[in-house]
Structure 1
Amino acid sequence: MAADIVRLLELTSWRAFDVAATGRVLAGSDESGSTQLVELADGESTPLTALPGAVTGRYLPGERAVVVQHDTDGNERGQLSLLRLDEPRARPARLPDLQPLVRDPAHVNRLLDVLPGRIVYATNRRNGVDFDVVIRHVETGAEEIAYDQGGMVLEATASPDGRHLALTVPADRAMSDQLLLVDTATREVLALTGRDEPARHGQIGWLPDGLAVTTDADRDRAGIARIDPRTGARHWLVTSDEHDLTGWLSPDGSTLLAQANDDGASRLALHDAATGDLLRTIRLPADGWCSYPLPAPTWSPDSRLVALSFSAPAVPGDALLVIAATGECESLTGSAAQLDGLVEPSSHRVPARDGEQVPCFVFAPREADPRLAGSAVLIVHGGPESQAVRTFSPIAQALVAQGHTVLVPNVRGSTGYGKRWYSADDGRNRLESVADLGDLHDWLPSIGLDAGRAALWGGSYGGYMVLAGLAFQPERWAAGVDIVGISSLVTFLENTAAYRRAHREREYGSLAADAEFLHSASPLTKVASISAPLFVLHGANDPRVPLSEARQIATAVRANGLECELRVYDDEGHGLAKRTNRLDAYPRALAFLARHLAKQA
């Protein structure tokens, strides 16, 4: 058992961050134990960084240089540095080798876009809460504030001439945002959508006559539209009534890379950006997923190439390169060659109490340990505005190798199945998603599983779901593994980073208006009902879900005389980013589940 999870956690994966016109790809590799930058070219991989924690980056257009984003021990206070690639270097760059661009360790600084000689970034240095958008000249260090109207800037894209920014900020509703156009010279802001419009906007690109935007405005399923930058008028380019679509526009404005979300699998195609007409489809290496939660596809500056991050249940993670003119897709790395015998999931729709159907992937063991045969582990994704997709999961594969059957559901509140589904848990409907766990539990016997030996596993909001399942459905669950989870919606909102509070209140409800409901929907409130053993993991530097959430639930569960192991990692934030910590934590968690889900002699 321990050997399976260690072997899976030690697999190397790659992701693509950027691509140059020469075909060089800026990628991330976790071979060292955390994601570091490498450059892929001519069949070779050249390590670029060796920093203490995970990093991301982008090429600086027109130069042999990389903008590196890094933080300290997962605290998410991003810092920006420059790495010159035209200077000889005997080893990968460490922090002293990088040229500081934005070093302000007390605040969050997040790279949004890159331009020749300039970067666009968001920072909350003004008051610790609101994010301003700043354009910085790399050579001189001169900065211009382009936007300072408040809120958490979600995305920003500069026009080709740098005179305008298109950006999104949260709107008044959960899972909605407002699309703004900013004149960088005058700082005049034009709202292209309303603050009360129930719609998302993203993946903004600049067309010759407008903006190309992924949006679900006036639709249940997201599509790709052209938006007039003067009036906000919308014209649909590519839509589907069956799938959510996402689009990435080429820099020259001629071609759209469109991704259809087919039950967590990516279907890619290239479209004419002027008409929306299909040009050609792209064949991926397997039935898997591109982009989020991995980096989004990136076009080369000359619009010839697209770099993709790709993963599948049996593919840990690879960097792919697409030639736009032909649709040919080449894998630049070979993560799938490291290990065979991985399990592919089957897709199901689980009937819910109210006639809805909960999408769910099921990983079934090939050879079950007789002691664990028939046991079930439900892995609940975070977010909640996220989706379990067809990617590699060392946890799911290790659990299956143990002999458990693993269910990975997309309970209501999940994205990928339309606006109606992702909105079904908003505000005071929070416990409807928890009730979906009960429906999944009731379904277990129909696929030959023992409902008396079922456990929950989840991280972040998935951790809240684990604790809520144990607290509100104590008769159903035999054990739980909570990773950086919320134990009280009240104390979470009180103690999360100030810049996140308003953003999260749109989803969960506000402390001012909804405190009583938030209290009633909190696992900590019902902790006396928990009867199952609990395993808790948390990072000491977590700015999203503070460590106090883990400590208070562990204390309360132990006070009831139940087993509760709490493991805290001092050099981690919201999750375990470092392999050494995952190798310590996850074998223990799997052993915990095996002990509590084994058949009794």
Structure 2
Amino acid sequence: MTLLSTLLSLPAVIAFDVDDSGRLLVGYDGSGVRQLHEVSPAGDWRALTDLADRVTNGQLIPGTTRVVVEHDTGGNERGQLSVLDLTDPELELEPLVHDPEYFNTLIEVRADRLLYTSNRRNGTDFDLIARELATGDETTLWDGGGYVMRVKPSPDGRWVAVTRAGGPANSNQLLLVESGTTHTIEVTSYDDPTYLHAISWLPDSSGLLVASDADRDRIAILRYDLATGALSDLLVDERYDLAGWACPDGEHLLVATTDDGEISLALHRLADGVLLAPLGLPAGGCAARHMAAADPLWSTDGAYALINYNSPTEPPCVIRYTRETGELLTVRAPDMPELPANLPTPESHRVKSFDGEQIPVFVYRPADGGDGSAVVLVHGGPEWMSARVWHPMTIALAGQGHTVVVPNVRGSAGYGKRWYSLDDKYLRLNSVKDLAALHDWLPELGLDPRRAALYGGSYGGYMVLAGLAFQPERWAAGVDVVGMASLVTFLENTSDYRRVAREREYGSLAEDREFLEQASPLNQVDQIRAPLLVIHGANDPRVPLSEAEQIAAALAARDIPCELLVYPDEGHGLHKRVNQLDAYPKALAFLAETLK
């Protein structure tokens, strides 16, 4: 088995839920597709689902033996909700909320009801819906329109905190919706250029915590008081982004600190934010996904916290933290083999760009020094970030002799509001210019700039195509995974809900079409001379397959080598191991040939 096949075959574990006994619900992909598993307090595993497609969430119904499961079909992200009984020997799924044409996302399960969001009203806006578990009766709690990002009910059930996409790029608006009424409090304005995440209610429901960069460059932990309506600072560090989760015991606070791609956790005092102790997690990794894609989870009594952890040398695993003793129990796959030795770890650099801005960059070097070739790997988003995480392709590329350069070009999160705003709308091509600066810097690493390729997914795929189109003399090859060939056709053909959210970042079809055309690699396809490999899922609801098809057709018409790999049972990216084992070794072989 090759190194890449070995790495791709290593199973990953992600936390979904925990009860007061320490029993876990986790996602585990040992079968090749992530399924729901139960892990007992003693560490015994049991598979709960065996579906053809991945499970995206699972939550216990308190006080019962039942579990609510969220799953999609073929990677289309249209979540459907089902329920299973843990005492059922067959563990059969019973449909709960099934609208296959729409996106239904599980929010929270309580003993008597569940909350979920759905765009079934008009296909664009996401409503917040409460479903009574005993009767199946549903009540729409909020239908104010927009793309709902986060939802968090208060412990007493009176309020629901909702964040939705705001007006400016990468902004969110925080609302409080009073259950059973039409009363809504606008905690922040729709027009504020403010990013919000990690909503966490105080145990007595008197207020909540939210991570926000309101009126500052870095994300701080703020406290909102329901009685006064005041939003005030709880914990601020002008050097780093912070996020916090209140412990149900009312005394403690779990704080995540993002520092140049590493995310660490520490226990603080809830009343004033004073540091009590670091959790002692392994250094050099991420103990929570940036921007709270996988927040730590407290058990309802605050005895345990579940932490999703991974690093450049550790596949995704779950760490159960016991607050009383500080014990850390790592929950890995039950059949986890030994990891390969001497995996590369990133060096941190700063690279000067065309306008003097400093681009944060990680460099992964081959163990033997490599063959002088380089692969620049660009993350998606664009307002995401490359972090110190497990990435089999990076390891395999370095193992093949390529030096892997992983930048956080302007527009990336994790380095302050100013940095992530430097690519908004008409500044889009400045992020592409960052690629040129990175290329010009390669000789300082002892690399051959004539043997440099671009690799990226989603927005990173757009950057690959933009680099090849706008800087054809620099790049020797490109690998585009689910990327956009044209910002115009992407916005025209993406899901309705997605268009509303993404026009804030890229510009609108109605007002900014001329610039969107200028910034589209497809309109510069005559300039592309490097060979290209394109990978795409047929069911992608974000970047339609037509984006891959049109760039492949345009290059074929010009006799530029381009191979298109389409996977009929995938969506935005490849999530099934059988498809990963087909596509990514081909990408590795493609780069070995073009950069030799």
TM-score (norm 2): 0.96
SS in 1 for 2:450: coil
Cα drift, residue 336 of structure 1:
7.8
Cα separation, partners in 2 of 1:230 and 1:424, compared to 1, 3 Å:
farther
The percentage of aligned residue pairs carrying the same residue is 53
The answer for the alignment partner of 2:81 in structure 1 is: 80
> What one-letter code is carried by the residue in structure 1 that aligns with 2:133?
V
Q: Does the CA contact (< 8 Å) of 1:554 and 1:564 recur in 2? A: yes
1:175 and 2:173 matched: no
Which residue of 146, 161, 168 maps to 1:151? Answer: 146
State how far apart, in whole Å, the 1-side matches of 2:45 and 2:282 are.
Answer: 20
The answer for the alignment partner of 1:45 in structure 2 is: 45
Which residue of 400, 420, 423 maps to 1:422? Answer: 420
Worse-matched range after superposition: 250-259 or 498-507: 250-259
Cα drift, residue 356 of structure 1:
1.2
SS in 1 for 2:70: strand
Cα separation, partners in 2 of 1:419 and 1:326, compared to 1, 3 Å:
farther
State how far apart, in whole Å, the 2-side matches of 1:114 and 1:214 are.
Answer: 24
Which residue of 457, 471, 480 maps to 1:473? Answer: 471
Deviations 1:324-380 (A, max 9, x none): 2343322122658333231111111111121211111111001266xxx00000111
Worse-matched range after superposition: 170-179 or 285-294: 285-294
Worse-matched range after superposition: 287-296 or 544-553: 287-296
1:267 and 2:264 matched: yes
Which residue of 107, 116, 122 maps to 2:111? Answer: 116
Cα drift, residue 285 of structure 1:
2.7
Cα drift, residue 61 of structure 1:
2.4
The answer for the alignment partner of 1:71 in structure 2 is: 72
Worse-matched range after superposition: 41-50 or 290-299: 290-299
State how far apart, in whole Å, the 1-side matches of 2:275 and 2:342 are.
Answer: 37
1:254 and 2:251 matched: yes
Q: Does the CA contact (< 8 Å) of 2:462 and 2:483 recur in 1? A: yes
The answer for the alignment partner of 2:522 in structure 1 is: 524
Q: Does the CA contact (< 8 Å) of 1:377 and 1:407 recur in 2? A: yes
Worse-matched range after superposition: 247-256 or 459-468: 247-256
State how far apart, in whole Å, the 2-side matches of 1:531 and 1:6 are.
Answer: 31
> What one-letter code is carried by the residue in structure 1 that aligns with 2:231?
R
Cα separation, partners in 2 of 1:254 and 1:477, compared to 1, 3 Å:
same
State how far apart, in whole Å, the 2-side matches of 1:63 and 1:213 are.
Answer: 31
Q: Does the CA contact (< 8 Å) of 1:258 and 1:271 recur in 2? A: yes
> What one-letter code is carried by the residue in structure 2 that aligns with 1:121?
Y
Cα drift, residue 85 of structure 1:
1.5
The answer for the alignment partner of 1:20 in structure 2 is: 19
Which residue of 564, 585, 590 maps to 2:562? Answer: 564
SS in 2 for 1:338: coil
State how far apart, in whole Å, the 2-side matches of 1:409 and 1:379 are.
Answer: 7
Deviations 1:536-591 (A, max 9, x none): 00000001000000000011111111100001110000000100011111111111
Structure 1, unmatched stretches of 5+, are none
Superposition pairs for residues 69-468 of structure 1, below 5 Å? 69-89=70-90, 93=91, 97-207=92-202, 208=204, 209-229=206-226, 232-292=229-289, 295-333=294-332, 337-367=338-368, 373-468=371-466
SS in 2 for 1:68: strand
State how far apart, in whole Å, the 1-side matches of 2:525 and 2:227 are.
Answer: 54
Structure 2, unmatched stretches of 5+, are none
State how far apart, in whole Å, the 2-side matches of 1:473 and 1:178 are.
Answer: 38
Q: Does the CA contact (< 8 Å) of 1:454 and 1:597 recur in 2? A: yes
State how far apart, in whole Å, the 1-side matches of 2:295 and 2:15 are.
Answer: 8
Cα drift, residue 153 of structure 1:
0.9
SS in 2 for 1:515: helix
State how far apart, in whole Å, the 2-side matches of 1:374 and 1:84 are.
Answer: 56
State how far apart, in whole Å, the 1-side matches of 2:502 and 2:215 are.
Answer: 24
State how far apart, in whole Å, the 2-side matches of 1:244 and 1:312 are.
Answer: 19
Q: Does the CA contact (< 8 Å) of 1:281 and 1:327 recur in 2? A: no
Q: Does the CA contact (< 8 Å) of 1:192 and 1:231 recur in 2? A: no
Cα separation, partners in 2 of 1:231 and 1:473, compared to 1, 3 Å:
farther
State how far apart, in whole Å, the 2-side matches of 1:445 and 1:386 are.
Answer: 28
State how far apart, in whole Å, the 1-side matches of 2:326 and 2:482 are.
Answer: 41
SS in 2 for 1:379: strand
Cα drift, residue 64 of structure 1:
2.7
Cα separation, partners in 2 of 1:192 and 1:231, compared to 1, 3 Å:
farther
State how far apart, in whole Å, the 2-side matches of 1:330 and 1:469 are.
Answer: 44
Q: Does the CA contact (< 8 Å) of 2:490 and 2:544 recur in 1? A: yes
Worse-matched range after superposition: 155-164 or 394-403: 155-164
Q: Does the CA contact (< 8 Å) of 1:317 and 1:392 recur in 2? A: yes
Cα drift, residue 230 of structure 1:
5.2
State how far apart, in whole Å, the 1-side matches of 2:240 and 2:7 are.
Answer: 32
TM-score (norm 1): 0.96
Cα drift, residue 295 of structure 1:
2.3
Q: Does the CA contact (< 8 Å) of 1:181 and 1:229 recur in 2? A: no
> What one-letter code is carried by the residue in structure 1 that aligns with 2:141?
A
State how far apart, in whole Å, the 2-side matches of 1:179 and 1:469 are.
Answer: 37
Deviations 1:411-468 (A, max 9, x none): 1111111111111111110111111111111110001000000000000000000000
CA RMSD of aligned residues (A): 1.4
The answer for the alignment partner of 1:33 in structure 2 is: 32
Cα drift, residue 115 of structure 1:
2.0
Deviations 1:147-175 (A, max 9, x none): 01111111111111212111011111011
SS in 1 for 2:2: helix
Cα drift, residue 23 of structure 1:
0.5
Deviations 1:124-155 (A, max 9, x none): 11111111100111222111110011111111
Q: Does the CA contact (< 8 Å) of 2:256 and 2:288 recur in 1? A: no
State how far apart, in whole Å, the 1-side matches of 2:380 and 2:109 are.
Answer: 29
Q: Does the CA contact (< 8 Å) of 1:375 and 1:453 recur in 2? A: yes
State how far apart, in whole Å, the 2-side matches of 1:157 and 1:252 are.
Answer: 18
Cα drift, residue 500 of structure 1:
0.9
Cα separation, partners in 2 of 1:232 and 1:196, compared to 1, 3 Å:
farther
State how far apart, in whole Å, the 1-side matches of 2:106 and 2:531 are.
Answer: 42
The answer for the alignment partner of 2:501 in structure 1 is: 503
Worse-matched range after superposition: 289-298 or 186-195: 289-298
Cα drift, residue 390 of structure 1:
0.7
> What one-letter code is carried by the residue in structure 2 that aligns with 1:251?
P
State how far apart, in whole Å, the 1-side matches of 2:267 and 2:182 are.
Answer: 35
Worse-matched range after superposition: 583-592 or 294-303: 294-303
Deviations 1:96-129 (A, max 9, x none): x112110110111011222222111100111111
State how far apart, in whole Å, the 1-side matches of 2:438 and 2:103 are.
Answer: 39
The answer for the alignment partner of 1:62 in structure 2 is: 63
Equivalent pairs, count: 588
SS in 1 for 2:301: coil
SS in 2 for 1:154: strand
State how far apart, in whole Å, the 1-side matches of 2:561 and 2:289 are.
Answer: 36
